[in-house]
Structure 1
Amino acid sequence: EEEKKTAEKLKRTCENWDAPLIITTSVQFFQSIYHYKGSALRKLHNLRDSVIVFDEIHLIPTELLRPCLKAVGYITKYLNSEPLFLSATMPDYSKLFDKFLPDVNYNKLVTDRTNFKYFKKCEYKDMGRTTLETIAENASRCKNALIVVNTKKTAAELYSLVQGEKYHLSANMTPAHRSRVIEVVRNKLENGEHITVVSTSLVEAGVDLDFNTVFRQLSGLDSILQAGGRCNREGKDDKGYVYVFDIDETYRKGSDLAMRINKTKGLLEKYQDITSYDCIKEYYDGIFDFNQSRIAENSIAKYNEQSNSFDRQGLMSPYSIPFRSYAMQFEYISADTISLVIDDPNDQTCHKLVETLRNGDMSVRRALQKYSVSVYMNVFKDLYSQGVLKDHGTGIFILENQSYYNNETGLDTQAAMQDYFI
């Protein structure tokens, strides 16, 4: 009984941010601020007089920059908190601060970059247009290599071409599966073994791996530099090499990735050192300028409607502020996906949780997140029509046919391997 009380207390503390130190995600942070339910909003007062550290701040979705930066501005101004932005590829938000937060003070903490050269552990080389076969062959000659590509489809195709000891990482694998692979890879690298890892961009943030050579498919400059953070990370070699390559791959015209790739192409031609402050600044300035209308339009004012309602003083209110409507529109992560639970028969913990769910016990829902894979709705519909998904009345779908999940590459259906981005 005491344990249950303690567990419930800790759960409430986590949900209410009622502790001296809270570790959470940017998704949870901003979606808590832009919410309309008391259960989410009741934690916000605990932000008062806090130091709030935002790691990988460059990952804020471009179209959400205005509401996210304004939220940080209000917390700074009215709750007396001090936010700190961190990133290895730091955008210059000065123009956006001045435009959307004119009455909020900010400072650039790093102004002297003369010593940055001592942190350069790798050199970037542009390979130009090539083929996956060539990349696989070049990687096999390296002491060890990480190959990062833009899509799950390309990762699966390239993985099939790589010879020798190899490992695969993508969002088609459950978080538990990826963690096991990362641990094996880390041990192999520490022992100096010759391996090749093929991954999507998920390896670029929060994954502490150190490769002698990295191959990065042409993408946004920030992604390329983040991939470079996995090259000679510990400085064990005199110099590591990051090879940027392009393949014959088409992207939706006008898409964010297509725009970032085109911008990066120009920078690779213009700058000898793409890690320089000027290069990174020009990259982000170009993105912000290209998306300036999208950034400016995303405001709660956009959803305001004329109203004939009256306030508490009996005066007619000209506008009603649609908190609920805006909160439902504020999607930090696209909601057009659904999670599928993968029953891993080789993992007894997972198997027991799935059996508990099959019996209708929903208390294991959160624990099953690390044994789940998110898929787009058309992939879900395809799998459902094949009869390989069952929810047993719980509303949580379980992949019943284990032949659809590969022990190396994860979810393995033709529909699931469409050209989707992480």
Structure 2
Amino acid sequence: MKPLPWPDWQEDLLAKSQQYGGETLASHTWDVLCRLADLYRLRPNLADLAGGVRLWHCLYWATFLHDFGKAAAGFQRRLRGGPAWSHRHEVLSLAFVDAIAHDLNELEQRWVVAAIVSHHRDAPEIRELYPAGLRKDPLSDLCAELQPATADHLHRWLGECANPWRIELGMADVVAEISPQSHPIDARRIRYWLSVYHQWVDILTAAGTATTARIPGILLRGLITTADHMASAHLQRIPEPIRHSWQAVIPAGRETYSHQVASAGASAQHVLLMAPTGSGKTEAALAWALGDGSNPPARIFYTLPYQASMNAMYDRLCGLFGNNVVGLQHGRAAQALYARFRDGEEWSATTVRKVQWEKNLNLLHARPLKVLSPYQLLKALFQLRGFEAMLTDYARAGFIFDEIHAYEPERLALITGLMRYLRRHVAARFFVMSATFPTLILEQLSDVLDTPTIIQATPDIFARFRRHQLYLRDGELTDPAIITEIVTAVRDGKQVLVCVNTVARAQMVRDLLMQAGLSDEQLILIHSRFTYGDRNRLEQTIVERCRSDSARRPPLALVATQVVEVSLDIDLDTLYSDPAPLEALLQRFGRVNRRAAKGICPVYIFRQPNDGQGVYGRHRDPEQAGHIVRVTLAELERHHGDIVDESAVQTWLDTIYADPLLREQWLTAYQNISRQVEQIINGLCPFQSDAQREDEFEQMFDGVDVVPACFERDYVSLLVEERFIEANDYLVSISKQRFAILRSQGKVRPAEETGQRRVWVVQTPYDSRNGLSFGDTVIDPDWS
């Protein structure tokens, strides 16, 4: 609905081409202002972080002016199908700053100018396009693009509409009235305002500039670009924060635990929670985030380490809050969403549009609750394009980190570095939870979060969750007698979890179980080397057949790698596991007898192989490789045959990490990256992204997408039809090391007829039961 007054005299001025809606300049500007008002209502106290400047006042007036330069004759011709335009409209918009500058102090003038000129391009690009000191200033040609009559219309619009609109939008309390004055369009004045902008950028980028001095610029650019992108995407309104009280997240009929109540009471604090797996840690985290519902965080971010656990948590939270509240963001979120949205249809353009819209909402920072990988958060730390909008979205947000133990010390150092930055500079809150925290990790988190509140499940809760009896077994779980034992357990009606450390080993165990007599119906194999389409189907099948509240629990053997360790709400009857670090083993235990409703269930850990299998404790010295596994086994020997007391597991972990070699390795790796993160943060500056750091960010991921040769024709056909999401269902992620080996063996070649896409085909066997097979013994860990 149009506000009054409305600039009917300039309805011929466009802001978007017909291809993108054909909106008029006035309509688009109003839409951006509406989204800015939504952002103000979402985070009304954000100005507290802006160093005393009237943040919303500056943003309103900058937003009103930000697209005035689109009235240029060449730009208007371009929108109507004419030739390309070589100038930047946001620079021409600076010609109108003089109309309001008299009612702004010097600092506010700088803020308004920066918001206008930076809302599309980084500062170095603007400086390069319009360099100072040339004999013929390119700004003169830019000004000539704006006809005097058009400039008069824009001044009239500013004079008649800007003040009433701020009242219409409910922003009069934070946006002061200004009395606009018409000024001639003058290249010298644009040059002056550009110099004001570049001087501020130079100050911010100078060595020794405090990080706190850069936060206002980050918020300024983050807010105006977010509002602009939301309006351009035709987002009608920003969804409200979740306003439920914490009691709403406790399932009906289920007991409320004291650590959940304590978490709700600590909603204004940083919290570390230690509680047994299955004792409602997720509900505790949500209780912390929501509190009594009276002061909800603008955004809640729920982070998990594996795609399988993220997908499962997305389903769980959608069931609790609804699909329109929860977002999913990871490298293959489109595939996961497509599998959930298509409702049995083979292909649907409507479903594809829905998936794309969902992705857009995540990029627009619109969902109140988002399930994602910490690596998505780290994009901001690496100063990738749009990082200011990301950091603005994190301001005063609540962050939940589930199973923090799952990250290697180098990755953990990156995550904690970001935590420290967000806590100090944008008032973010953190809730970090795990079944256990080794003191080594607890010390780092306590430092990063500045002495957080520590909440532990009470001794009686730990006692009630004594549900596993630990047995160490000689040999390996691949020994014939053990395979027979697993088959017998399945035939006796049990659901058996078989956890191994590598994909090749998981495939071998499945084959051995098949040979020993289990049927396809009695076997499920899950690892990272399935196509994304098969992987999604497997995850949903596992949750359906093995979840704790499933009405039908058919006997089966679930053979899995690390992908089942975290947050999958599944509940099997017993475990057979390769040796691994204690934190990983505890997560595997947590998928067995999850609710402690089956008495005491056995969990079997094998003594071999004890070399870490190239997954745990990698080291150049073979004598030190896998050291953490051997130290873990030595500690477990002391508890062989015992019922696991989860309240005592902290002591087990501390004993393990007291090993001098382990402690030195862990601290050295963590501290080296921590120092690098500090340097990155010291260089984090608004108005300029860093394309070079994109390569650094990508190096964090040890994966290459490939297409099994058997699917090449299907994959290419879908690409030709522009059915990209479905095409990606045929991709498999393999490690860079494995890719290099296959390439050296001549088993990798480019896919045919894929246009601009660089896609690799691997000529190795694939089937929907085993995934991609390589037929050799090269180490291939599974960390997806």
The 2-side partners of 1:391 and 1:20 are apart by 42
Amino acid at match of 2:465: F
| Aligned with 1:280 (options 643, 650, 653) | 653
The change in CA–CA distance for 1:368 and 1:283 in structure 2 (over 3 A counts) is farther
Q: Which residue of 1 aligns with 2:111?
A: none
Q: Which residue of 2 aligns with 1:338?
A: 704
The 1-side partners of 2:741 and 2:673 are apart by 34
Q: Aligned to 1:237, what secondary structure does the other structure show?
A: coil
Amino acid at match of 1:80: A
Amino acid at match of 1:140: V
Q: Aligned to 1:23, what secondary structure does the other structure show?
A: strand
Residue 481 (structure 2) pairs with residue 134 (structure 1): yes
| Aligned with 1:202 (options 560, 563, 568) | 563
What is the TM-score normalised by the length of structure 2?
Answer: 0.45
Residue 618 (structure 2) pairs with residue 255 (structure 1): yes
Q: Which residue of 1 aligns with 2:425?
A: 78
The 2-side partners of 1:370 and 1:22 are apart by 23
Q: Which residue of 2 aligns with 1:60?
A: 407
The share of aligned pairs that are identical, in percent, is: 17
Amino acid at match of 1:357: L
Q: Which residue of 1 aligns with 2:635?
A: 267
More helix per residue: 2
| Aligned with 1:356 (options 703, 714, 718) | 718
Q: Aligned to 1:38, what secondary structure does the other structure show?
A: coil
Amino acid at match of 2:618: S
| Aligned with 1:226 (options 559, 571, 587) | 587
Residue 759 (structure 2) pairs with residue 397 (structure 1): yes
Residue 545 (structure 2) pairs with residue 178 (structure 1): no
Q: Which residue of 2 aligns with 1:410?
A: 771
The 1-side partners of 2:664 and 2:364 are apart by 38
| Aligned with 1:34 (options 377, 381, 385) | 381
Amino acid at match of 2:524: Y
The 1-side partners of 2:691 and 2:645 are apart by 43
Q: CA deviation at 1:219?
A: 0.5
* Structure 1 residues 274-295: Cα deviation after superposition (integer angstroms, max 9, x where no partner): 7323223444565554321221
1:90-109 matches, within 5 Å, as: 90-92=437-439, 93-97=441-445, 101=448, 104-109=450-455
The change in CA–CA distance for 1:248 and 1:330 in structure 2 (over 3 A counts) is same
* Structure 1 residues 236-284: Cα deviation after superposition (integer angstroms, max 9, x where no partner): 4222211011334644596177132022112102345473232234445
Whether the 8 Å contact between 1:136 and 1:161 is mirrored in structure 2 is yes
The 2-side partners of 1:254 and 1:274 are apart by 26
Which blocks of at least 5 consecutive residues in structure 1 are unaligned?
306-321
The change in CA–CA distance for 1:44 and 1:285 in structure 2 (over 3 A counts) is farther
Q: Aligned to 1:150, what secondary structure does the other structure show?
A: coil
> Which deviates more, 292-301 or 180-189?
180-189
The change in CA–CA distance for 1:74 and 1:367 in structure 2 (over 3 A counts) is farther
The change in CA–CA distance for 1:344 and 1:180 in structure 2 (over 3 A counts) is farther
> Which deviates more, 6-15 or 174-183?
6-15
Residue 583 (structure 2) pairs with residue 239 (structure 1): no
The 1-side partners of 2:393 and 2:585 are apart by 37
Tell me which stretches of 4 or more aligned residues in structure 1 moved more than 6 Å: 302-305, 322-327, 350-353
Whether the 8 Å contact between 1:35 and 1:324 is mirrored in structure 2 is no
Whether the 8 Å contact between 2:525 and 2:560 is mirrored in structure 1 is yes
State the superposition RMSD in angstroms.
Answer: 3.6
Q: Aligned to 1:334, what secondary structure does the other structure show?
A: coil
The 2-side partners of 1:97 and 1:56 are apart by 13
What is the TM-score normalised by the length of structure 1?
Answer: 0.79
Q: Which residue of 2 aligns with 1:167?
A: 524
Amino acid at match of 1:356: L
Q: CA deviation at 1:225?
A: 0.8
Q: Aligned to 2:779, what secondary structure does the other structure show?
A: coil
Residue 495 (structure 2) pairs with residue 144 (structure 1): yes
Higher RCO (Cα < 8 Å, 6 or more apart):
1
The change in CA–CA distance for 1:128 and 1:14 in structure 2 (over 3 A counts) is same
Amino acid at match of 2:600: K
Q: Name which one, 1 or 2, has greater alpha-carbon Rg.
A: 2
Whether the 8 Å contact between 2:413 and 2:670 is mirrored in structure 1 is yes
Residue 573 (structure 2) pairs with residue 212 (structure 1): yes
Q: Which residue of 2 aligns with 1:15?
A: 363
Q: Aligned to 1:211, what secondary structure does the other structure show?
A: coil
| Aligned with 1:374 (options 733, 749, 755) | 733
The 2-side partners of 1:367 and 1:285 are apart by 49
Residues matched between the structures, number = 393
Q: Which residue of 2 aligns with 1:310?
A: none
Amino acid at match of 2:669: R
Whether the 8 Å contact between 1:340 and 1:396 is mirrored in structure 2 is no
The 1-side partners of 2:452 and 2:385 are apart by 31
The change in CA–CA distance for 1:233 and 1:380 in structure 2 (over 3 A counts) is same
Which blocks of at least 5 consecutive residues in structure 2 are unaligned?
1-19, 22-232, 236-352, 620-624, 681-688
Q: CA deviation at 1:118?
A: 0.8
Whether the 8 Å contact between 1:65 and 1:295 is mirrored in structure 2 is yes
The 1-side partners of 2:752 and 2:436 are apart by 43
Q: Aligned to 2:555, what secondary structure does the other structure show?
A: coil
The change in CA–CA distance for 1:195 and 1:223 in structure 2 (over 3 A counts) is same
* Structure 1 residues 307-348: Cα deviation after superposition (integer angstroms, max 9, x where no partner): xxxxxxxxxxxxxxx97766644568433x310145887xxx
Residue 441 (structure 2) pairs with residue 125 (structure 1): no
